[in-house]
Amino acid sequence: MEEKQTIVAIGAGTISKRVYPDGRIERCDNVKDVALYIEKIDEMIERKKELYFGDLKSSL
């Protein structure tokens, strides 16, 4: 299966994926344990922000 589009995944055990125009792919996984996911939700949110918007910070 070819990986062609960006995926935003939310929840324990999920993996988000960003596909850049040059074909490069970056992934960001969440912890699998639900209790640990809830405990670290702020960290999970920050990692997603960095994955999807990190390059915008440098251009502002």
How high is the mean pLDDT in each 10-residue block of the chain (60 residues)? 84 94 93 96 94 73
Locate the domains of the chain by residue range: 15-59
Helix intervals (H) in 1-60? 34-39, 41-59
What pLDDT was estimated at residue 4?
85
* 40, 29 contact by CB (below 8 A): no
What pLDDT was estimated at residue 6?
94
3-state secondary structure of 25: strand
Per DSSP, 30 falls in state P
* 31, 14 contact by CB (below 8 A): no
Q: How far apart are CA 42 and CA 21, in angstroms?
A: 29
What pLDDT was estimated at residue 56?
72
